[in-house]
Structures are given as structure tokens and as C-alpha cells.
Chain A
């Protein structure tokens, strides 16, 4: 069974997206908007089956984040079709909606509600989340007193406990100190063993190669290669080394 399915997906951003003042908008209307779209993804087709662990590699601006925004349902494609089954948890959403004036506890509950937890799940998982983050002593302090590492740990703890069908990891293994990183990696491997689908995005080939069996290589919005990570990653790194030389 396919969990993620992209068929001939195109995604564009129009270049004037930064100009939102009224006069720009009017000028755009008369010019005929979107005369010069920028395609972040061009004709992407792939399928990911249940339980697969797939890495996405590519340099900056290759379209990796755009791909993730389509998988999580944040944005619709311009052309083509995106199908995703089950509950998606994206570790790029760490701490979305966190507010500095709320306490750690209030932030965890708020974050849980917008990550898609039911109220009961959120209450039941609150203790495990705090335990995982190792922050039980600070939960009644406002978030603005936390270090950035503490915020990330808390966000990671909520996301990883969502028990998702699809887990999306975006350059995230740099959370916290080494011990916490090891704990995160262990948790991710546990999720992988449980037969969940994992999509892992990085510009660092070795992370992908150690975690994923299969890899996709994106370059300037195009799918260059789709195959075993032991073949795709060296090809991507060879190309990158060549372009730097």
C-alpha cells in the first residue's frame, strides 16, 4: 500500500510574493499576474510504500522544503496530484505556536492541540512528553526563560510522541546535546522498527545513508535519481563535489 503518492506534481511561487502593498497588487493586476512563475518543483512523480524509510537529498534551493510542505498538506500543488494517507507528524513543526509568555505546560498542550492530538491523548501523553524532554522542573516557568535548546527539546518531545503514521524529519538531528541526540536517534529507529513510514530530508548525505534504505535526489526542482540510498547518495555527493571544483 502506498502512503505517499506524487504524480506529475508542479509547484510554483510567483516572484512578486514579497510585494503585498496595495499599489503593487494593482500593478500586478494590470500586468497580468504570474507572468513569470518560479517553479520550485517540476514534474515530480514517486511513490512511498508503508514502512519505507526514504531520504531526500539536495543542495539548498533544490525544492526539499517545498516537497515537505506538499506532503504535510500546507500548500496545494499547481498541477498534478499529491496523496497522503494517515497522520503525518513533521519534525519541522517543532514548537509551532509556542508563545514566550505561556508556561511550558501551556505551550505543550497548545502545541499538542494543533499537532492534531485529541484532548485525552494530550493529557495522557503530557507526562511522557515532559519525561522525554527531561524538563519536569521547568514546566511552570514561562517559555521566554528557556534556552533555545530547551525549546527545541520540548518541541521535539511533543512531535515524536504523536505516534504518527508518517514521520517527517527535516535536518533535525542537531537538537540538544549529544546524549539527547542519541536518544532522538534511538526513538526514530524505534518508530522505523514499528513499521512506520519515514521521510527524512537533509543536505547531508551521510545522515541519509545511515538512516534510510531508499533516497530521492532533488536538484533545482527536478527529481534526478530515485533508488537505493547507497547508490543515490554517492551520486549526489559526486555531483556536488564536481560543481564545487
Chain B
């Protein structure tokens, strides 16, 4: 069995992912900044200039609070889902702990996330929404989001080994998410009541609401939101760990 150094291995895998993504690009890490900035500009143009009956304040910041979490979920989930199948060479030849492969992919996406969070905080300051004590909630909500993504990626990456269609299911799902989580709109009380099952236990929505309340309103996120968010994230991680543990022993035969 494998008796190596988990942390060293995890770190090497994360750095590998990060390096190979940027090595051959002249703009390098700037792509992490450019992509959300462009989307933010386009959406601001569409929703404040083309359709000007918009009452949301600080619209660019409002949109960015949705885009940054969504980008992270979409990149981490998509790349995490194919991580085992893409690393078949590794899985078939070295008895490394399999969990490390999808989790390292998620953590590599976290490096981009950090850059984008930096951008988000910068834009917050530009709009004059200063630093407040509730910023201390930021690491908590981001950590919960990362835990959630690790959980869901453990499930889909393991399933993708057995059923290669899973990656396309995930891709389609991520596209639907763009519209079903409130990135560029604010659900009215009536709507969020009617679709409460869509909004309440959706960790991406929870993260977006929490960010807006911390960064734009300067309030702490409501406790009920944090509680549901934590419940879903930790639950998802538990499920992911269990499912992955059950499926990993036959990866070798199916890759």
C-alpha cells in the first residue's frame, strides 16, 4: 500500500494543475481577473443601460458577488468531475490515495478563486463599501463552499469512471445553475417563498446571499442561512467521502 506523505503529494498535485494551466499563456494569471471583469461589464450594460428599470444599487458589485462564486463552482466542479479519468495514467500505475486527485483539482481552482476574491474586495472598496467587522465571516463562508465542492466532486468524479456521460450531465447542470442561482437578479420575497426549495438549501445561493450581505450591506449573514449552508456543505462532504470510498477500489478495472 501507499505510505507516502499526503500533504506533500496534495501540494505537488495542486501546483502541477496550477502551473500547467498558465505555463504557456502570456497573460497568465490575468485571465482569472479578465473573465469576471468582462462578464461584469456586459451584464451591467445589459441590465442598467439596455433595460434601465433596475432598482438594484451598486449593480456591478452586486453582479460580481454572484459571478465569482459561480465561476468557482463551475470550474471546480467541471474539472473535478473529469479529474480521475484524466489522471488514469496515475491511477492505473501508482497506488496513491485516490481522494487526493479530485480534491487537489478543487484546491487548484481555489488559487484562481483567491485572485478573484481579491478582485471582488477591490471592487467593493472602489464602490465605497468599506471594510467592516463582518468581513470576518468571509473565510467561513468560502471555506464552507470549498467543502461543498469537494463533496460533490468526490461523487461525480467517482461516477464518471463508471459512466463517462456524467461529465456532460454536470456540464448541463452548471449551465442551468447560471440562471437558477440569483447572479444578476434579486428574487422578490414572494418568488423566494414559492421556490424556497431551490434557494434555501442551495449552497451557491447561500454563498451569494452571504457575500452581498457582508460586502454590500455590511451586515452579518442571517444565522439560519449559515446553519443551512453548513449543514448542506458538511453533509455533501460526508456523502462524497462515503460514495468515493465505496467506488474507488474498482477504478483500476474500469479505467
Q: Which residues of A contact B (CB under 8 A)?
A: 13-14, 17, 20-22, 25, 69, 72-76, 84, 87, 90, 92-93, 96-97, 99, 101-102, 106, 109-110, 113-119, 122, 142
Contact = CB atoms under 8 A, between A and B. Distances in A.
A99 B95 CA distance: 18
Contact of A20 (B13, B24, B94, B254): B254
A113 B162 contact: no
Contacts of A109: 12
A40 to B, nearest CB: 10
Q: Which of A113, A117, A119 has the most CB of B within 10 A?
A: A113
Contacts of B11: 113
Chain B residues touching A, majority SS: helix
Contacts of B89: 96-97
B2 A73 contact: yes
7 contacts: A73-B1, A92-B93, A99-B20, A102-B19, A113-B8, A114-B12, A119-B5
B20 A101 contact: yes
Contact of B90 (A87, A96, A118): A96
A76 B19 contact: no
Interface in B1-20: 1-5, 7-9, 11-13, 15-16, 19-20
Nearest to A119: B8
B164 interface: yes
A163 B28 CA distance: 39
Q: Which of A75, A96, A99, A114 has the most CB of B within 10 A?
A: A114
Contacts of B216: none
A117 to B, nearest CB: 7
Given A22-B165, A75-B252, A106 B19 contact: yes
B190 interface: no
What bracket does the count of chain B residues touching chain A fall in? Answer: 20 to 34
Contacts of B12: 109-110, 113-114
A42 B38 CA distance: 61
B243 interface: no
Given A17-B254, A102-B19, A113-B13, 11 more contacts: A17-B253, A21-B164, A73-B2, A75-B253, A97-B87, A97-B94, A101-B20, A106-B19, A110-B16, A113-B11, A117-B8
Contacts of B165: 21-22
B2 A22 contact: no
Contacts of A122: 8
Contacts of A97: 16, 87, 89-90, 94
B82 to A, nearest CB: 13
A20 B3 contact: no
Given A76-B249, A87-B3, A25 B163 contact: yes
B246 interface: no
B158 to A, nearest CB: 13
Contacts of B23: 101-102, 142
Interface string B39-68: 000000000000000000000000000000
B54 to A, nearest CB: 43
A114 B104 CA distance: 13
Nearest to B255: A17
What are the 8 tightest A-B residue pairs by CB atom distance, in nearest-first order?
A116-B4, A113-B12, A75-B252, A73-B95, A96-B93, A119-B8, A22-B165, A113-B9
A99 to B, nearest CB: 6
A55 B150 CA distance: 43
Interface string B17-33: 00110011000000000
Contacts of B3: 87, 116
Contacts of A106: 15-16, 19
B167 to A, nearest CB: 11
Contacts of B170: none
A85 to B, nearest CB: 10
Contacts of A74: 92-95, 252
